[in-house]
């Protein structure tokens, strides 16, 4: 463990261009080991979109996905600060990996840990919806009480938002758009979409 931490320290001390060269040559990105997350082998990606989407289109896409049973009406109704027309003119390709929470942990601590590990991922609503569908298909939310948090890079009245995807006691999969409360505990075993 001590040798691993010295490798991390040496890597992080390198200039950014040398870090990129190391990554390209080895395919590795040395990162500190987390005591709060357990990295899974579940990865997901969605291609970039060139199509035009409204928030109503995103709501209908989730509703008709065949894997999400209940979709929060706020996905269609809320207006994000930087997107008053509620339109998405495509999006970049995005991919992520699921980190499982080892213990109950507050949102603010998830974000701090993700930033320290350089894995904290934020996406827009369209990317989050596309990824949520793929993650449900991959079985991340396949049992009662299982869930997933996708952090959004969009805000309403300056407040950050998340997509919360979970399976209720009846086995139905729900997706909910909610304001990020930094002091709310997320349940051990939940997944967090990370880089």
pLDDT tens, position by position, 99-152: 888 889 898 998 888 888 878 899 999 999 999 999 999 888 877 667 899 999
**For range 78-97, the mean pLDDT:** 88
Grouping H, G, I as helix, E, B as strand and the rest as coil, residue 111 is: helix
User: How sure is the predictor about 3, in pLDDT bands with cuts at 50, 70 and 90?
Assistant: very low
Q: Which of 25-29, 30-34, 107-111 has the highest mean pLDDT?
A: 107-111
Ranking 23-27, 68-72, 85-89 by mean pLDDT, the lowest is: 23-27
| Calpha distance 163→75 (Å, rounded) | 9
Task: Kindly report the average pLDDT of the chain as a whole number.
Answer: 84
Q: Which helix (H) or strand (E) is 39 found in, with range?
A: strand 37-46
Confidence of residue 31 (pLDDT cuts 50, 70, 90): low
**What are the tokens at 37?**
């997350």
CA 97, CA 54: separation in Å to the nearest integer? 27
Angle at 174 between CA 74 and CA 122, to 5 degrees: 65
At residue 80, the pLDDT reads 93
- pLDDT tens digits along 64-82: 999 999 999 999 999 999 9
> Who wins on pLDDT, 44 or 60?
60
Give the mean model confidence (pLDDT) for residues 165-171: 88
Model confidence over 99-109: pLDDT tens digits? 888 889 898 99
For the cut 70, the answer to whether the pLDDT of residue 27 exceeds it is no
Q: Higher pLDDT residue, 44 or 35? A: 44
């Amino acid at each position: 463990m001590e040798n691993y931490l010295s490798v991390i320290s040496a890597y992080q001390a390198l200039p950014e261009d040398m870090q990129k060269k190391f990554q390209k040559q080895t395919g590795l990105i040395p990162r500190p080991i987390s005591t709060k997350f357990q990295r899974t082998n579940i990865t997901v990606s969605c291609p970039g979109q060139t199509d035009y989407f409204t928030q109503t289109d995103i709501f209908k896409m989730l509703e008709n996905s065949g894997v999400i049973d209940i979709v929060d009406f706020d996905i269609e109704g809320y207006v994000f600060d930087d997107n008053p027309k509620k339109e998405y003119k495509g999006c970049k390709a995005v991919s992520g990996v699921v980190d499982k929470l080892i213990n109950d942990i507050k949102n603010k601590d998830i974000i701090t840990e993700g930033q320290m590990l350089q894995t904290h991922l934020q996406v827009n609503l369209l990317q989050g919806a596309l990824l949520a569908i793929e993650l449900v298909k991959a079985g991340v939310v396949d049992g009662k009480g299982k869930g997933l948090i996708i952090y959004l890079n969009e805000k309403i009245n300056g407040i950050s938002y998340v997509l919360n995807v979970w399976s209720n006691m009846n086995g139905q999969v729900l997706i909910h758009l909610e304001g990020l409360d930094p002091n709310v505990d997320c349940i051990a075993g939940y997944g967090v979409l990370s880089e």
